[in-house]
Amino acid sequence: MIDDIMFTFEKNFLRLKNLIELYKSISTGQGRKPTNSLDILRATTVLAHSTLEDYLRNLLLWKLPSENQEKINNIPLMGTSLIGRPTKFSLGELTLHRGKSIDEVIDASVKEYLNTVSFNDTSDIVKALTSISITITPEMQNLFPTLNEMIKRRHNIVHRADRDVSVGRGNHRIKSISVQKVEKWKKEIDKLVIEINKSFIV
């Protein structure tokens, strides 16, 4: 299963590399680049976050169903919650799942739950990894400040069109972004995935 997860991750990671190469191919000269070319880097930042989220969700989809009761108690039975929070359900609701095994119901419930899960900072990443019994190593922790920076920047791009809304910025100019910064975020994502994958080496 980890091979399938990495196959998808590597395809997405290649897309990041291709976007960065595209930016470099059309960006020439010195000084601050035009906003329209920098938008390629902003799109790359959003895709970088999505690449990490997709990898983490696939790990959870693989590992969560086999965790113990304590670990999956916070996952609602499929069809009983729209927001991913566990709710009480009556016995009659189980009739919707007649003919399914317990494992099938757990798998489907985890899959539905993961549609509501997002990673808005590295504390969400820690919560996800610990839920599947992965130890947070010092090497992972060293990556978190840079990854938090990437996640925060992605949020500003998606929700504020990357405007700088800090005090005293007048008409809220668009924030600058550099290819070096985006490449660093990409590199740190790769390092985190490598560290996580060490947990699956027998």
- Residue 31: what pLDDT? 60
Q: pLDDT value at position 69?
A: 86
What is the mean pLDDT of each successive set of 10 residues along the chain, which is 202 residues long? 96 98 80 76 98 97 90 80 63 74 86 91 97 96 98 97 75 86 98 96 71
What is the rounded CA–CA span in Å between residue 184 and residue 181? 5
* Res 126: pLDDT: 98
Domain ranges of the chain: 2-200
Give the global pTM: 0.86
pLDDT score for 139: 98
Q: What is the pLDDT of residue 47?
A: 99
